Copies of this chain bind each other. A is one copy, B any other.
Amino acid sequence: MRMRQSGSPARITALAGGIGGARFLRGLIAAAPDAEITVIGNTGDDIWIHGLRVCPDLDTVMYTLGGGISEERGWGRQDETFTVKDELAAYGMEPSWFGLGDRDIATHLVRTQLLAAGYPLSAVTEALCLRWAPGVRLLPMSDERAETHVVVDEEGGTQRAIHFQEWWVRHQARIPARAFVLVGVDDAKPAPGVIEAIEGADAVVLPPSNPVVSIGTILQVPGIREALGRTPAPVVGVSPIIGGRPVRGMADACLTALGVETSAAAVAAHYGARDAGGVLDGWLVDDADAGDVDTVARLGIACEARPLLMSTPDDTRAIAAAALDLAARLRS
């Protein structure tokens, strides 16, 4: 990758969802320890629960990079307890299906209190990160509330929209999604620093996050897709689909709702080549999808196959290094 100035670190900007994005970011930090990394986090999953403002994806990034994540679950705090949740259920309070841990609740109390005091989410996130020191600058995609809702069928032939978390957590994405609606997005603006981080980057990376309800949500914030279109930095993505299946999560259920096939090539086509109005210059697929390389290349997206399973920290670092290497070659 071309450095900006002799001696100045590379500037990398990543768009990220939750678990998959956070794990990739750990590898990115390891691959570029001297880089200034800005993460634009998805806040379309955010939800008010029991009067608390919960930002699952921001917290997953913050906890993962800050050493507080539950490695087993992939979300929430390690050594977590669920006393408050059980007590809320004893009061009959709904929703009872959201995993609100005691340690986690402290984060939400701080956030909710600071938001109530008038601080924007970006400032609140910065304040929370003072404790976690994630090693990246973590920005919410927007300071405005814009939450994903899922259109599902009701009995009788009608449809209704439920909050993304109800669909994802309560129903485990088992109800067919007919559409995703980012409620509030028309009034949302990119959070301070987001556009600058995209325009001023040496490389923009799309981790193997959910292309619909994580990265796709970020791209819906007015101005972000346009900034990706005009940034001088190459934009390189890592496929979240390996061998026709999501590596983790339920991206297939999301892609199906959009009529997109669950394949590495179809996701690349869904993102689209920058030259053709999309967002990608480069795309990494797994060796299992080496057959997709030519298909993607024909879209105008530089595509390479390599192992993409983030099984170990070394594997993950190598994937991130490959993405940065592809970006460097695209830039030079």
A residues at B contact (CB < 8 Å)? 50-52, 81, 83-84, 87-88, 90-93, 102-103, 105-107, 109-110, 112-113, 116, 128, 131
The answer on a CB contact under 8 Å between A84 and B106 is: yes
Grouping DSSP codes into helix (H, G, I), strand (E, B) and loop, the A interface class, with mixed when no group exceeds half, is helix
A90-B87 Cα distance, complex, nearest whole Å: 23
- Of B87, B92, B107, B112, the residue contacting A103 (CB under 8 A) is B87
Question: What are 20 A-to-B residue pairs whose CB atoms are below 8 Å?
Answer: A50-B109, A51-B109, A51-B113, A51-B116, A81-B83, A83-B83, A83-B102, A83-B106, A84-B84, A87-B102, A87-B105, A87-B106, A88-B106, A88-B109, A88-B110, A90-B131, A91-B106, A91-B107, A93-B113, A105-B105
> Nearest 9 CB-CB pairs, A to B?
A87-B106, A51-B113, A83-B102, A88-B106, A50-B109, A84-B106, A91-B110, A87-B103, A102-B102
| 11 new A-B contacts at CB < 8 Å, known A51-B109, A88-B110, A102-B102 | A50-B110, A51-B113, A52-B109, A84-B102, A84-B103, A84-B105, A84-B109, A87-B105, A90-B106, A91-B110, A93-B109
**B51 engages A91 (CB within 8 Å):** no
Chain B proximity of A113: nearest CB distance (Å): 4
Which residue of B is nearest A82, CB measured? B102
What distance in Å separates the Cβ of A323 from its nearest Cβ neighbour in chain B?
33
Chain B residues within 8 Å of A87, by CB? 102-103, 105-107
In the complex the two chains form, what is the Cα distance from A93 to B84 in whole Å? 19
B residues near A116, Cβ cutoff 8 Å:
51
Query: Cα distance A112–B112 when bound, in Å?
Result: 12
| Residue in A52, A91, A110, A116 with the greatest tally of chain B CB atoms within 10 Å | A91
Q: Enumerate chain B residues within 8 angstroms of A81, measured Cβ to Cβ.
A: 81, 83, 102
Set of chain B residues within 8 Å of A102, measured between Cβ atoms: 81, 83-84, 87, 102
Chain B, Cβ-Cβ closest to A112: B51
Inter-chain CA distance A52–B119, complex, in Å, is: 18
- In angstroms, Cα B71 to Cα A278, docked, is 65
**In the bound complex, CA of A84 to CA of B50 (Å):** 15
Point out the residues of chain B lying under 8 angstroms from A112, CB to CB: 51
Q: Which residue of B lies closest to A114 (CB)?
A: B51
Q: Using Cβ atoms and an 8 Å threshold, which residues of chain B touch A50?
A: 109-110, 113
- Closest residue of chain B to A100 (Cβ to Cβ) is B109
Chain B residue at minimum C-beta to C-beta distance from A113: B51
Closest residue of chain B to A52 (Cβ to Cβ) is B109
Q: Which of A83, A103, A107 has the most CB of B within 10 A?
A: A83
Cα A220 to Cα B109 in complex, Å, equals 33
Give the distance to chain B from A133, nearest Cβ to Cβ, in Å: 13
Interchain CA distance A84-B90 in the complex, whole Å: 19
Residues in B with CB closer than 8 Å to A110 are 50, 88, 91, 93
| A131 lies within 8 A of B84 (CB) | no
- Give bound CA distance, A265 to B105, whole Å: 49
Bound-state CA distance A88–B106 (Å) is 5
Chain B residue at minimal CB-CB distance from A105: B84
Q: A109-B52, A113-B51 are contacts. A131–B83 as well, Cβ < 8 Å? A: no
